[in-house]
Structure 1
């Protein structure tokens, strides 16, 4: 792999622009001191090529053209009224203050955002009331306020491998609080992916969540 070109988008406010972050030879930095309003941001790059360093996105659309995997930098972004399209896995959004002490981590927030046209799996949302967000419909499903509902989740008839993984993810013992923070307000999964991992059918997940008003699908 050759040298990457740093693309710095910082210290400005932009409206009604289209930003295409798609160059395979570039490393993109969004922020600090960046505000985008009513913009379209096209992402076609691996997570390691995108750095968010304290940016505000207001009424923006994110078109994710290549699955974005394990991208935690969203927690250094303030997102309001935004739309997400495409596949995201293992991503974190919102306010996770313990993740880092740098000022940009304290800017993280998410409200009034729409993920209904996205495919989310193992994505976490931190901080604010998750009911201001729109999540994907089935075969996606989202557990709201999962830590408070851990007793009910333990009693559901999940496929065994998924159930064990979920309870481990919510483990609040002191040694796990950095990995499994109390700030988690919602967890989103994609049933076909989880069914394949568990060696079971999607319907097994649908049956487990059917009677829970704190799981949306």
Structure 2
């Protein structure tokens, strides 16, 4: 049986949360002083305790994702471990949580957010962490949304911010953990006062030439990402569709016959069969011990994902033993079941309507 603590005061205790067969419950304004809190993340364990932890050591024994602590109060606590997508402090009006004078310098924070919090109210982990300072005035984010920041940061700044959410906050990001090369990004970050880390003032600034070079690289990366997104879009849209067969129509044209009749369950004008034609294409099936070219019928291959790998598009199946389909091509085109050309945007619209996005 797990903990069920309702109120009370505890000093010098060691508490393990999440390690049992059932979830642990701590509420009723329980107070913990000079205690050790070990968090063992499990899907069943709710983290938002209605309690206060003062002068405690808090450690996630393995990466904690999406932990919500908006009703939990932390004061002068020391944090260790990895916290990804976690939220601390009062996210909404009426939330009871807070985080004050805590030490996160030995923690790894990956896109974690601290509400009603200022930079000078905690001890933060240093570079290659960065900390984004949000307030009621978001004009700085609007100026940077279409700039030359790393892609992940640009997306973060574009996210809508609900007026129901506490506006003052800090978002902490360990750059390598989100795929950003810190030193390559530094020239783009050095002049943005709202992007901070403890040693920023002492970090050598890059010259105008290096800043320009970094901006050029960032733009080239953005263009490559855009090409990749367009190239993969149609294959992402084939999620849950069956590839029935592959045929070579001519020396430089290959056709995939795709059964997407499930779309008709919700979208009456959806095509039951879609033909994906690949110019200068090849199609191979990769299994655990073999790679062979495909020409003819395929045995029950449902598309469950798509990714790029060394200029190939890799289609991932619903069952691992089916192998992976490797596509190489210069361009693609769609043909409906009547043999008429179909615009990619028209098919993407069908998929959006199926999933209720329109």
Q: TM-score range by the shorter chain?
A: 0.7 to 0.9
- RCO comparison, higher one (Cα < 8 Å, 6+): 1
Distance 1:202 1:130, change over 3 A: closer
Query: Match for 2:10 among 14, 28, 50?
Result: 14
**Aligned position for 1:58:** 54
Deviation at 1:214, TM superposition (A): 2.9
**Aligned position for 2:195:** 215
- Contact 1:146 1:187 (8 Å CA) reproduced: no
**Aligned position for 2:107:** 118
Deviation at 1:81, TM superposition (A): 0.8
Query: Match for 2:72 among 67, 74, 77?
Result: 77
Higher radius of gyration, 1 or 2: 2
Deviates most, 118-127 or 50-59:
50-59
Runs of 4+ in 1 over 4 A off after TM superposition: none
- Contact 2:92 2:166 (8 Å CA) reproduced: no
Instruction: After superposition, give the CA deviation of every residue in 1:165-192 in whole Å (9 maximum; x if it has no partner).
Output: 21223x24xxx445xx343411111111
- Contact 1:111 1:133 (8 Å CA) reproduced: yes
Where do 1:1-217 residues align within 5 Å? Answer: 5-46=1-42, 48-72=44-68, 74-98=69-93, 106-145=95-134, 148=137, 149-154=140-145, 157-159=148-150, 161-169=151-159, 171-172=160-161, 176-177=162-163, 181-195=165-179, 201-217=181-197
**Aligned position for 1:102:** none
- In the alignment, structure 1 segments of 5+ residues that lack a partner are 99-104
- SS at 1:144 equivalent: strand
- SS at 1:23 equivalent: coil
Distance 1:26 1:57, change over 3 A: same
Mapped partners of 1:48, 1:207: distance in 2? 42
Mapped partners of 2:26, 2:144: distance in 1? 38
Deviates most, 46-55 or 32-41:
46-55
- Contact 1:158 1:204 (8 Å CA) reproduced: no
Provide TM-score, normalisation by structure 2: 0.50
- In the alignment, structure 2 segments of 5+ residues that lack a partner are 198-358
Instruction: After superposition, give the CA deviation of every residue in 1:53-107 in whole Å (9 maximum; x if it has no partner).
Output: 41011111101111110111x1111111111100000011111224xxxxxx531
Distance 1:22 1:75, change over 3 A: closer
- Contact 1:47 1:71 (8 Å CA) reproduced: no
Mapped partners of 2:175, 2:117: distance in 1? 25
Aligned length: 195
Provide TM-score, normalisation by structure 1: 0.80
Mapped partners of 1:46, 1:177: distance in 2? 31
Compute the RMSD of aligned alpha carbons. Answer: 2.2
Mapped partners of 1:210, 1:46: distance in 2? 38
